[in-house]
A = this chain, B = another copy of it.
Amino acid sequence: MAPAEKAESDRPGEFALIEEIFAPLAAGSAGAFALRDDAALYRMEEGCETVLTVDAIVAGIHFLPDDPAESVARKLLRVSLSDLAAKGAVPKGYLLVTAWADDTTFDWIKRFAAGLAGDQKRYGVSLWGGDTVKTPGPLTLSLTAIGEVPIGGMIPRGGARPGDDLYVTGTLGDAALGLEVLKGRLSGLGRDEASWLVQRYREPEPRCSLGPRLRGLAHAALDVSDGLLADLGHICEVSGTGARIEKDKLPLSAAAQMALRQDGELFPLIAGGGDDYEILFAAPPEKGNEIEAAAGEASVRVTKIGRVTGPNEGVTLVDGAGRAIPLKQLGYSHF
Question: A: which residues have CB within 8 A of B?
Answer: 1-5, 7, 33, 36-44, 49-58, 60-64, 79, 83-84, 86-87, 89, 95, 97, 99, 101, 128-131, 133-138, 140, 142, 144, 146-147, 149, 151, 154, 156-158, 176, 179, 222-223, 225-227, 234, 237-238, 273-275
* A39 x B51 contact (CB < 8 A): yes
| A137 interface neighbour in B7, B52, B84, B138, Cβ under 8 Å | B138
| A86 interface neighbour in B2, B38, B237, Cβ under 8 Å | B38
Enumerate chain B residues within 8 angstroms of A64, measured Cβ to Cβ. 4
Given known pairs A54-B131, A131-B54, A137-B138, the reply for A83 and B1 (CB within 8 Å) is: no
Complex CA gap A234/B37 in Å reads 9
A37, closest chain B residue (CB): B157
* A136 x B133 contact (CB < 8 A): no
Nearest Cβ in chain B — how far from A334, in angstroms? Answer: 9
* B37 x A131 contact (CB < 8 A): no
Nearest Cβ in chain B — how far from A177, in angstroms? Answer: 13
* B36 x A87 contact (CB < 8 A): no
20 further A-B pairs in the complex, CB-CB below 8 A; given A43-B49, A61-B136 = A5-B60, A33-B156, A36-B234, A37-B158, A37-B238, A38-B53, A38-B157, A38-B222, A40-B51, A40-B52, A41-B52, A43-B151, A44-B44, A50-B50, A52-B128, A54-B129, A56-B133, A61-B133, A99-B140, A136-B137
